[in-house]
């Protein structure tokens, strides 16, 4: 039998509602938190399911590490960027902010030449930090505001400047989360002094090493939404923090799957917020942690599947190189292998500059070899901003192999 939330028990078992609450709150397995949810002390219960779930999460993370170690570095780089694009599109989509995959890819391609002024530049730069293993601190309210400034300030200023923070650090007026029919679902903490007090408490929980890391990340994600420190940009900011922290605890690529997985489970995500925001739930955050750890676990398992599938394809197509035009020539077989990686792991392909760097060849040499393969009809070309990318036509390889095997 699953863990029944107190807000449900209030209606289904009203006679025992207070008794069950007291049993949970006073249980030796209860973890008490220095935070009030609608005047109820926050807590969660270390249910047996959590032990199994945490063990599974760390086991799956080891699988991802093993897969990562068995793949070429360039393939992982391609796949990380592909997941990064997914993540940014999804985190925007959850908030009703439109961004196309091409738009995000274009920002990525222009990062070296443009550092300011392009839409979503800040969001892309921050998510790239996960791949570069750069560190960030989330110790103070100022840290949260600085992240917000880097992450979403430019877009909010451009789209709706009245939604920018107007307090010393956060917002100074009230704000609410509304349903599609404009019904108030949740009202954020107010005034700003209270927001700052609550955020400091939430940050203390986030940095409390006596609590399992996955639980801390889950709890802080909920508390950030409960506090709702900004008029706009709360979701994107809190999801980035969760992504960053997960990338530090597990394989870094998992940080690029959080919003994607939340979007796939969006109804459960919103329902968990609704349950824990309900005063009848009396500060029990166990339902939210159940939902959030399920999403993390699901995300890791899907990542394993995606990498295993591509590794299998990479092994298969590498064996095909010898049968392709000039495939027996080492000068071309290395190029083929890089182009196959781009086809399987990247969304847009590999640029001439990247090929030059990996193969340590001049632009003219790389271009000549690409032109040779292009003459055989094996190259797919794309343009992103000012960058030209290419990959191998996998369908053409399949056709060639079918002819050979007839």
User: pLDDT tens-digit profile of 323-362?
Assistant: 999 999 999 999 999 999 999 999 889 999 999 999 999 9
Was 377 annotated as part of a binding site?
A: no
Confidence of residue 93 (pLDDT cuts 50, 70, 90): confident
Was 40 annotated as part of a binding site?
A: no
Domain map (residue ranges) of the chain: 6-306, 324-404
Was 233 annotated as part of a binding site?
A: yes
Residues contacting 63, CB < 8 A, separation 6+: 304
**What is the pLDDT of the chain when averaged over all its residues?**
92
The yes-or-no verdict on residue 115 having pLDDT over 60 is: no
- Kindly state the average pLDDT of the residues 320-324: 96
Among the listed residues 272, 151, 145, the one whose alpha carbon sits nearest the alpha carbon of residue 219: 272
Which is it for the CA torsion 106, 110, 116, 121, positive or negative? Answer: positive
CB 273 within 8 A of CB 225: yes
Task: Considering the candidates 32, 228, 301, 316, report the single residue annotated as catalytic.
Answer: 228
Phi, psi of 140 (to 5 degrees): -130, 165
Confidence of residue 182 (pLDDT cuts 50, 70, 90): low
DSSP lists the bridge partners of residue 43 as 32, 284
Pairing of strands 387-392, 350-351: antiparallel
- CA distance readout (Å), 132 to 11, 126, 253, 269, 355: 50, 10, 11, 29, 20
Was 237 annotated as part of a binding site?
A: yes
pLDDT in the model for residue 128: 84
Among the listed residues 361, 335, 331, the one whose alpha carbon sits nearest the alpha carbon of residue 349: 335
Residues 13-45 as b/e (b if ≥16 CB within 10 A, e otherwise) read eeeebeeebeebbeeeebbebebebeebebbbb
pLDDT in the model for residue 116: 53
Class of domain 324-404: mainly alpha
Confidence of residue 322 (pLDDT cuts 50, 70, 90): very high
Residue 228: active-site member: yes
pLDDT in the model for residue 189: 92
- Kindly state the average pLDDT of the residues 396-403: 93
Was 2 annotated as part of a binding site?
A: no
Was 101 annotated as part of a binding site?
A: no
The yes-or-no verdict on residue 117 having pLDDT over 60 is: no
CB 72 within 8 A of CB 61: no
pLDDT in the model for residue 114: 53
CB 87 within 8 A of CB 243: yes
Was 127 annotated as part of a binding site?
A: no
Rg for the chain, CA atoms, rounded: 25
> How far is the C-alpha of 312 from the C-alpha of 316, rounded, in Å?
6
The yes-or-no verdict on residue 112 having pLDDT over 60 is: no
Confidence of residue 109 (pLDDT cuts 50, 70, 90): confident
Confidence of residue 194 (pLDDT cuts 50, 70, 90): very high
Was 236 annotated as part of a binding site?
A: yes
Was 269 annotated as part of a binding site?
A: yes
Asked if the domains at 6-306 and 324-404 fall in one CATH topology, the answer is no
- Report helix, strand and coil shares of the chain as percent, to nearest 5: 65, 10, 25
SS3 20: helix
Report pLDDT digits (tens) over 198-242: 999 999 999 999 999 999 999 999 999 999 999 999 999 999 999
Report pLDDT digits (tens) over 270-292: 999 999 999 999 999 999 999 99
Q: Taking the model in full, what pTM does it have?
A: 0.91
- Which CATH code fits 6-306? 1.10.3290.10
């Amino acid at each position: 039998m699953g863990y029944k939330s107190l807000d449900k028990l209030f209606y289904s078992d009203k006679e025992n509602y207070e008794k069950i609450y007291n049993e949970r709150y006073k249980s030796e397995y209860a973890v008490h938190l220095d935070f009030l949810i609608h005047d109820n002390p926050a807590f969660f219960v270390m249910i047996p399911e959590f032990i199994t779930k945490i063990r599974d999460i760390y086991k799956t993370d080891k699988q991802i590490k093993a897969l990562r170690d068995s793949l070429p570095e360039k393939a992982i780089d391609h796949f990380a960027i592909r997941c990064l694009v997914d993540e940014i599109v999804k985190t925007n989509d959850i908030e009703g902010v439109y961004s196309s995959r091409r738009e995000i890819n274009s920002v990525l391609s222009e990062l070296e030449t443009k550092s300011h002024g392009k839409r979503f530049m800040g969001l892309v730069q921050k998510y790239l930090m996960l791949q570069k293993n750069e560190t960030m601190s989330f110790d103070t309210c100022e840290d949260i505001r600085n992240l917000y400034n880097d992450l979403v300030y430019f877009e909010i200023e451009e789209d709706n400047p009245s939604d920018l923070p107007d307090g010393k650090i956060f917002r100074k007026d009230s704000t609410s989360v509304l349903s599609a029919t404009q019904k108030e679902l949740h009202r954020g903490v107010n005034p700003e002094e209270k927001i700052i007090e609550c955020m400091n408490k939430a940050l203390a929980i986030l940095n409390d090493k006596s609590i399992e890391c996955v639980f801390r990340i889950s709890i802080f994600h909920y508390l950030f939404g409960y506090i709702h420190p900004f008029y706009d940009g709360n979701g994107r900011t809190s999801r980035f923090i969760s992504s960053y922290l997960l990338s530090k605890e597990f394989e870094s690529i998992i940080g690029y799957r959080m919003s994607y997985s939340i979007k796939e489970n969006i109804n459960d995500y919103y329902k968990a917020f609704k349950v824990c925001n309900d005063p009848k739930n009396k500060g029990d955050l166990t339902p939210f942690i159940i939902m959030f750890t399920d999403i993390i676990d699901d995300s890791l398992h899907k990542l394993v599947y995606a990498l295993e599938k591509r590794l299998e394809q990479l092994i298969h197509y590498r064996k095909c190189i010898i049968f392709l035009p000039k495939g027996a020539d080492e000068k071309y077989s290395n190029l083929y292998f890089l182009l196959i990686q781009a086809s399987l792991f990247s969304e847009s392909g590999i640029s001439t500059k990247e090929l030059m760097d990996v193969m340590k060849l001049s632009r003219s040499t790389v271009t000549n070899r690409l032109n040779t393969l292009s003459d055989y009809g094996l190259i797919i070309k794309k343009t992103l901003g000012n960058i030209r990318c290419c990959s191998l036509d996998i369908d053409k390889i399949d056709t060639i192999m079918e002819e050979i095997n007839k």
